[in-house]
Amino acid sequence: MTQRINYMEQSPELFKKFLDFNNAIKQGAIEASIRHLVAIRASQLNACGFCLDMHVKQARIDGERELRIHHLAAWRESTLFEPRERAALAWTEALTHLPALGVPADLYDRVRGQLSEKELSDLSFTVMAINAWNRINVAFTTVPGSYDAAFGLQKANLA
């Protein structure tokens, strides 16, 4: 396989600004536990091994239960997720795989029943960010676990 470029080294100014954007999201209205679920689910849908590895480790470090992480792929059938989390996951899936006719009104209404306008807006930026990270890491085949030391992810004890 052809060695791909390191986008972080090639575009450091854009990478820094995107990290700043990502850090701003953490100050928003969506709690860390839901941000973790969203990042893991979008990364599953986008088959981004690097992001999936990173976000599972981050979630575990922050106390997410292992079983809930395992259930994310089947969250609709699982009893482990609260209505607010289910709404966030449904919104994540809709924005990750945009339907041909846009986001259905019934889905929007269900999500709005669980999230305020500010929360829905912040959640949308959260989904947008993880999808961008997924796309660049898939494009350049970033190796899962390759930045664990830099991001402090070895604390997850999942090597």
In a domain, 6, yes or no: no
pLDDT along the chain (159 residues), means of 10: 91 98 97 98 98 98 97 98 98 97 97 98 98 98 92 87
- Residue 149 maps to a domain: yes
**pLDDT given for residue 2 in this prediction:** 83
| Integer angstrom CA distances of residue 92 from 11, 68, 69, 96, 140 | 28, 17, 16, 6, 23
Residue 121 lies in a domain: yes
Position 124 scores a pLDDT of 98
Q: Is residue 159 part of a domain?
A: no
Domain range for residue 33?
A: 29-154
pLDDT of residue 136: 98
Number of structural domains in the chain: 1
Concatenated DSSP letters for 107-151? Answer: HHHHHHTTS-HHHHHHHHHHHHHHHHHHHHHHHTTPPTTTTHHHH
The answer to whether position 23 is within a domain reads no
Where does residue 157 fall: left (phi above 0), alpha (psi -120 to 50 degrees), or beta otherwise?
left
Q: Give the integer Cα–Cα distance in Å for 77 and 104.
A: 21
- 17 occurs within a structural domain: no
Query: How much is the pLDDT for 144?
Result: 94
The CATH number of the domain holding residue 58 is: 1.20.1290.10
pTM of the model: 0.96
